[in-house]
Amino acid sequence: MSVCLSIYLSAYLSIYLCLSIYLSIYLSVCISIYLSVYLSVCLSVCISIYLSIYLSVYLSVCLSIRLSIYLSTCLSTYLSLCLSIYLSVYLSIYVSIYLSVCLSIRISICLFICLSIYLSVYLSVCLYIYLSIYLSVYLCIYLSLYLSTYLCVCVCVCVCV
């Protein structure tokens, strides 16, 4: 009976380990790819829209008001129009392109690498610890119950005889 149990447990453990390794690799790759694509697209779109609107409104309104108050009328009109248009267009285009391209590439690469390493290490270590604790507790309880029952039966048989 113990041979059958050990064969059953080893088969069960090998299937469980193979499945856990497959799931950890599959989940780490899928999650990292999904997060890198999702974050790169969302961040680039949201940041470029937000910055283009914010910079154009801020530069056109705030700079024109401040310059018109502090400078003379000719200089304030000239500087407010030129600087606000130039800076709003230049900065919104530059920042949106820079953030959408550079940051999305950096974030996606970092996320992919970090998540794949973290998930593979974390899942393999956690599964190893979980399986070792589970098997040791399970075998300890099972063997103690089996041996105590066996000894009880042996004592009862010896006492009865």
Instruction: Write down the pLDDT at residue 18.
Output: 81
Domain that holds residue 89: 21-119
Q: Which of 79, 77, 87, 78 is nearest to 57 (CA)?
A: 87
Do residues 37 and 107 make contact, with C-beta atoms less than 8 angstroms apart?
no
How many domains is the chain partitioned into structurally? 1
Q: Is residue 6 part of a domain?
A: no
Q: Is residue 99 part of a domain?
A: yes
Q: Which of 54, 38, 43, 28 is nearest to 124 (CA)?
A: 28
pLDDT in tens, 99-134: 777 777 877 787 788 777 877 777 778 778 887 888
Q: Is residue 74 part of a domain?
A: yes
C-alpha pair distances (Å), 14 with each of 19, 23, 102, 129, 141:
8, 14, 44, 15, 21
Q: Is residue 96 part of a domain?
A: yes
Do residues 36 and 112 make contact, with C-beta atoms less than 8 angstroms apart?
yes
Is 141 a residue whose pLDDT tops 80?
yes
pLDDT in tens, 42-71: 777 877 888 788 777 777 777 777 766 766
Q: Is residue 133 part of a domain?
A: no
Q: Which of 115, 119, 114, 109 is nearest to 25 (CA)?
A: 119
